[in-house]
């Protein structure tokens, strides 16, 4: 059968399994990336595997999330990560060098390769023809150790792009349009592959904006072909020799195809509090705003900043608006310094932040009480900005700058003719904040600050699970609900006992007390439980509090994998109506769990002792995942050496 681009790359990297959808495949991983908020755990996990060097073609450790340094934790973690990288053969991107996905696209991504990253927006590199997948830190640690990455063979969803975007409309509007159509779980179990004439009208950073926010669809990945535009981009990064042409076969068969006519796309935005809550900008135009933030791995490229700088040239930001800008990388920053665009931004009244995730993950710039904040970011989950009462709208850089000028949500097409943007033939790449691994690794001593606590491990699964429903939540609960980030909590990422104190803080401040008092228990979830980030802390911290199983209507891919990796059973209601027959505080029991799993029973029975009823749940675990759950998680499983995973 003629293959899609995704299938071609998977076939080239297949270690075990076949391309048959729904079955488990094991893939060889060429490159990995980690970032500091997930990276310290990934390093501890890699250490536990006992190797003396990474086995990938390339592994890069970025510091971009925790750069606020309000006390010593973050800087201590940076030192740990830097010395760890030097010792184990990993390149190190120092704080200030930029957001991992932007820097990786510029300096490292290679068409046709596989990239596994401990961040859900790793598919950004799909804009350059990479099969890039986000995963929990432990899966990335295993890949760094040369182990395969296992996933259920996804469906391949074709997105045919026709035509060309009109002035003031950009890639962000395209992906918001798709999110509006498909919703935040519309991509679960799918890889989105873009093709068609319209692809040729999009630059690599524009493609990367689209693949980046495929994560918000819940997609496993998103990918564009590698063509002459990809080659031009790689040449501008002095990497043309690594380019190769890649596309799907002419007659490739997709599971489903959606057509998007780029000519018809209008400025779009996502309203609070979900990236899927999409409408046209015109529908809310005129709403007074307080803050505009430009940046994040979605929209912080040279092109994104230049459209803003050119539009602001000779003008002033509205007095009621605080405009903050974080360039995506040092390269972008240096480029706008060199061509004078930074001057235009500063003169117009923009506040310039460092090249990092910053406000996107609540690290500073929390808006005022009840604020309306427009952000070019990818997530507007409740409370993520640091201000629970704030209303966050996700927009394109064009809509952001138009609104910053007028002080109200503004359709950028009102601004008249759009300024031309010329991308440099060659970018600046001093790489002064990028460090190669040590030449004499034996001499490198790993520096561990007091914030880095040992990695907790789970016990093997009990045969008898008994406990209380500690919390019942609705559909689309995000990992930001489960394990919030932000300036107060993010610095504790290397310290599971400390960070566990904040589990479900924004949903129910009593949750942790209850979990401790009851010695753990169960959580009941709705659809798409655990959507959003790859943070394995959303599994590790509940595990630390004694959570035994989550029973939900359905799960988001990465979070489900993280639960399994730490020995928490992800169970789905066989009949979703049973969700209504279980309440917080109910005592539930599952008996003979080990035996039933060992016998490959796909169903388990849950006894609700409080309500006096029983209902069935399914686990959908492959044989390998059953072994992992029985062992109490992936590290236990690997260490027992029941099967050679590395």
34 binds, among ligand MIC, ligand SF4, none (CB under 5 to 8 A by kind): none
Query: What's the closest the beta carbon of residue 479 comes to ligand MIC, in angstroms?
Result: 7
Query: What's the closest the beta carbon of residue 59 comes to ligand SF4, in angstroms?
Result: 17
**What are the beta bridge partners of residue 616?**
605
Please say which residue, 130 or 361, places its beta carbon nearer to ligand MIC. 361
Question: Of residues 119, 193, 304, 645, which one binds ligand MIC by CB under 6 A?
Answer: 119
Q: Tell me which H or E stretch contains 595.
A: helix 593-598
Q: Which range touches ligand MIC (CB under 6 A), out of 90-98, 114-122, 165-173, 559-567? A: 114-122
Query: What's the closest the beta carbon of residue 138 comes to ligand SF4, in angstroms?
Result: 19
Contacts for 440 with CB less than 8 Å, ≥ 6 apart = none
Is residue 535 among the annotated active site residues? yes
Question: Of residues 101, 535, 559, 619, which one binds ligand MIC by CB under 6 A?
Answer: 535
Query: What's the closest the beta carbon of residue 285 comes to ligand MIC, in angstroms?
Result: 28
Q: Which of 35, 37, 33 is nearest to 54 (CA)?
A: 33
- How far, in Å, are 46, 143, 277 from residue 628 at the CA level? 17, 17, 37
Q: How many helices (H) and strands (E) does the chain have?
A: 21, 27
Which residue out of 119, 173, 476, 578 is catalytically annotated? 119
**CA–CA dist 136, 560 (Å, integer):** 10
Contacts with ligand MIC by CB under 6 A: the residue count is: 14
**CA–CA dist 148, 646 (Å, integer):** 7
Q: Which of 480, 399, 462, 469 is nearest to 632 (CA)?
A: 462
Cβ(294)–Cβ(308) under 8 Å?
A: yes
Please say which residue, 535 or 557, places its beta carbon nearer to ligand MIC. 535
Please say which residue, 148 or 270, places its beta carbon nearer to ligand SF4. 270
533 binds ligand MIC (CB under 6 A): yes
300 binds ligand MIC (CB under 6 A): no
3-state secondary structure of 481: helix
63 binds ligand MIC (CB under 6 A): no
Which residue out of 30, 36, 64, 411 is catalytically annotated? 64
Query: What's the closest the beta carbon of residue 534 comes to ligand MIC, in angstroms?
Result: 4
Which residue out of 13, 65, 107, 207 is catalytically annotated? 65
Which residue out of 150, 493, 535, 537 is catalytically annotated? 535
Contacts for 165 with CB less than 8 Å, ≥ 6 apart = 171, 173, 174, 201, 202, 262, 263, 265
Is residue 255 among the annotated active site residues? no
- E-strand spans in 404-557? 434-435, 465-472, 521-525, 547-552
330 binds ligand MIC (CB under 6 A): no
Looking only at residues 35 through 54 of this chain, which bind ligand MIC when binding is defined by CB under 6 A? 37-38
Which residue out of 533, 537, 554, 578 is catalytically annotated? 533
**CA–CA dist 297, 301 (Å, integer):** 8
Query: What's the closest the beta carbon of residue 485 comes to ligand MIC, in angstroms?
Result: 6
Query: What's the closest the beta carbon of residue 65 comes to ligand SF4, in angstroms?
Result: 6
Q: Which range touches ligand MIC (CB under 6 A), out of 75-83, 113-121, 307-315, 464-472? A: 113-121
Cβ(530)–Cβ(555) under 8 Å?
A: yes
Query: What's the closest the beta carbon of residue 88 comes to ligand SF4, in angstroms?
Result: 23
Helices (H), 49-190: 72-88, 100-107, 137-144, 171-182
3-state secondary structure of 598: helix
Is residue 379 among the annotated active site residues? yes
Please say which residue, 480 or 586, places its beta carbon nearer to ligand MIC. 480
Which residue out of 13, 78, 107, 379 is catalytically annotated? 379
Is residue 65 among the annotated active site residues? yes
Please say which residue, 91 or 296, places its beta carbon nearer to ligand SF4. 296
375 binds ligand MIC (CB under 6 A): no
- How far, in Å, are 26, 133, 246, 550 from residue 156 at the CA level? 17, 14, 16, 28
Please say which residue, 17 or 275, places its beta carbon nearer to ligand MIC. 275
Please say which residue, 123 or 198, places its beta carbon nearer to ligand SF4. 123
Please say which residue, 231 or 379, places its beta carbon nearer to ligand MIC. 379
120 binds ligand MIC (CB under 6 A): yes
Which residue ranges make up the site for ligand SF4 (CB under 6 A)? 65, 99, 119, 121, 296-297, 357, 360-361, 377-378
Q: Tell me which H or E stretch contains 312.
A: helix 302-312
Q: Which of 484, 493, 353, 451 is nearest to 72 (CA)?
A: 451
What's phi and psi for 523, nearest 5 deg? -125, 140
121 binds ligand MIC (CB under 6 A): yes
222 binds ligand MIC (CB under 6 A): no
Burial (CB < 10 A; 0-12, 13-18, 19+), residue 212, is buried
Q: Which of 73, 5, 6 is nearest to 37 (CA)?
A: 73
332 binds ligand MIC (CB under 6 A): no
Helices (H), 490-574: 496-499, 511-517, 537-544, 557-565
Please say which residue, 127 or 632, places its beta carbon nearer to ligand SF4. 127
- E-strand spans in 454-494? 465-472
Please say which residue, 60 or 571, places its beta carbon nearer to ligand MIC. 60
The DSSP result for 145-184, as a single string, is: TTPPEEEE--EEEEEEEES-PPTT--HHHHHHHHHHHH-T
534 binds, among ligand MIC, ligand SF4, none (CB under 5 to 8 A by kind): ligand MIC
296 binds, among ligand MIC, ligand SF4, none (CB under 5 to 8 A by kind): ligand SF4
Which residues are known to be catalytic?
64-65, 119, 379, 533, 535
Residues that bind ligand MIC (CB under 6 A): 37-38, 65, 119-121, 134, 361, 379, 485, 532-535
């Amino acid at each position: 059968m003629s293959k899609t681009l995704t299938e071609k790359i998977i076939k080239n990297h297949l270690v075990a399994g076949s391309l048959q959808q729904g079955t488990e495949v094991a893939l060889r991983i060429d490159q990995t990336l980690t970032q500091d908020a997930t990276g310290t755990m990934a390093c501890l996990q890699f250490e536990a595997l006992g190797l003396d060097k990474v086995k990938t073609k390339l592994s890069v450790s970025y510091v971009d999330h925790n750069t606020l340094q309000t006390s010593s934790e973050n800087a201590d973690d940076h030192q740990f990560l830097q010395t760890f990288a030097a010792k184990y053969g990993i390149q190190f991107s120092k704080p200030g060098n930029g957001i991992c996905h932007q820097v990786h696209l510029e300096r490292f991504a290679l068409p046709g390769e596989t990239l596994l990253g401990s961040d859900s927006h790793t598919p950004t590199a799909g804009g350059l023809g990479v099969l890039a997948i986000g995963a929990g830190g432990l899966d990335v640690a295993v890949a760094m150790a040369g182990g395969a990455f296992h996933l259920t063979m996804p469906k391949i969803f074709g997105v045919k792009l026709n035509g060309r975007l009109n002035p003031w409309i950009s890639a962000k509007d395209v992906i918001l349009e798709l999110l509006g159509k498909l919703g935040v779980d519309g991509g679960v179990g799918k890889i989105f592959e873009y093709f068609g004439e319209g692809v040729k009208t999009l630059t690599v950073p524009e493609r990367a904006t689209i693949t980046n926010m495929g994560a918000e669809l819940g997609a496993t990945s998103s990918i564009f072909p590698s063509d002459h535009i990809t080659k031009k981009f790689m040449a501008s990064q002095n990497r043309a020799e690594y380019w190769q042409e890649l596309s799907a076969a002419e007659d490739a068969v997709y599971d489903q195809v959606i057509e998007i006519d780029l000519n018809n796309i209008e400025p779009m935005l996502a309203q609070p509090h979900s990236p899927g809550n999409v409408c046209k900008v015109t529908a809310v135009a005129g709403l007074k705003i307080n803050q505009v933030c430009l940046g994040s791995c979605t929209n912080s490229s040279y092109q994104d900043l230049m459209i803003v700088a050119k539009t602001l040239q000779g003008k002033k930001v509205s007095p009621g608006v605080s405009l903050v800008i974080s360039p995506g990388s040092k390269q972008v920053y240096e480029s706008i310094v060199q061509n004078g665009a930074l001057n235009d931004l500063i003169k117009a009244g923009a506040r310039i932040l460092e090249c990092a995730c910053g406000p996107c993950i609540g690290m500073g710039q929390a808006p005022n009480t009840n604020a309306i904040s427009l952000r070019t970011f990818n997530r507007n989950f409740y409370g993520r900005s640091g201000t629970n009462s704030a209303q966050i709208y996700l927009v394109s850089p064009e809509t952001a700058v138009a609104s910053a000028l007028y002080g109200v949500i503004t359709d950028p097409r009102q601004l008249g003719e759009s300024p031309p943007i010329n991308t440099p033939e060659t970018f600046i790449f001093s790489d002064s904040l990028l460090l190669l691994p040590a030449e004499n690794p034996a001499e490198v001593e790993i520096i561990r600050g007091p914030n880095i606590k040992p990695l907790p491990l789970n016990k093997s699964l009990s045969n008898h699970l008994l406990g209380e429903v500690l919390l019942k939540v609705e559909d689309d609960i995000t990992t930001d609900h489960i394990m919030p980030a932000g300036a107060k909590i993010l610095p504790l990422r290397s310290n599971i006992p400390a960070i566990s104190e904040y589990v479900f803080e924004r949903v129910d401040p009593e949750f942790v007390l209850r979990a401790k008092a009851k010695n753990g228990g169960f959580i009941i979830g709705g659809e798409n439980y655990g959507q959003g980030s790859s943070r394995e802390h959303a599994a590790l911290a509940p595990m630390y509090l004694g959570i035994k199983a989550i029973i939900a209507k359905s799960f988001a891919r990465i979070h489900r994998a993280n639960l399994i990796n730490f020995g928490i059973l992800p169970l789905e209601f066989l009949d979703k109506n049973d969700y209504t027959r279980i309440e917080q505080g109910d005592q539930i029991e599952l008996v003979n769990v080990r035996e039933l799993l060992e016998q490959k029973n796909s169903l388990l029975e849950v006894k609700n002792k409080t309500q006096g009823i029983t209902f069935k749940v399914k686990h959908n675990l492959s044989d390998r995942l059953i072994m992992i759950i029985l062992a109490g998680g992936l590290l236990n499983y690997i260490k027992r050496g029941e099967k050679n995973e590395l």
